[in-house]
Amino acid sequence: MGSCGIRSTNGVKAVSIEAIYTGDTRVGTMSSELGKKIEQLEEEKIWLGLDVDIHKLEAEKLRKGKNKAEEDLDSLKTDYKKLRVSIKTVSLGKTSDQWRQEIEKEEARADHWEKKFQDVRV
């Protein structure tokens, strides 16, 4: 039959059919190593697939969280605008100094009317 064994052509190992059938131990060792390497690569492929799935789930969760935060922000902006309109409508949009001045003014008016009432009674 031809030559038995393993030969290298352009850096690629080639195994003759005779070497496989005659039980060349180098072929068995190489086959076993290749089998282990294939198993290792398949396991890595599974883990990489799981990593991709996890990253997709995390990205989707972040997208949903971002959308929820944007909706909440829009709602808060709307509520804030409504509150500002309410404050303006009810005239509550005054500073504490403005309120103090208004109270003093109203107290002065009350004193004025009370004095007039006292004058009318006498």
Which residue carries 């990489």 as its tokens?
48
**Torsion angle of alpha carbons 36, 41, 44, 45, nearest 10°?**
-140
pLDDT digits (tens, 9 = 90+) for 71-122: 999 999 999 999 888 877 776 667 788 889 999 999 999 999 998 888 887 6
Q: Show the 3-state SS of 35-53.
A: HHHHHHHHHHHHHHHHHHH
Model confidence, pTM: 0.41
pLDDT digits (tens, 9 = 90+) for 47-71: 999 999 999 999 999 999 999 999 9
Domain boundaries, the chain: 6-90, 94-122
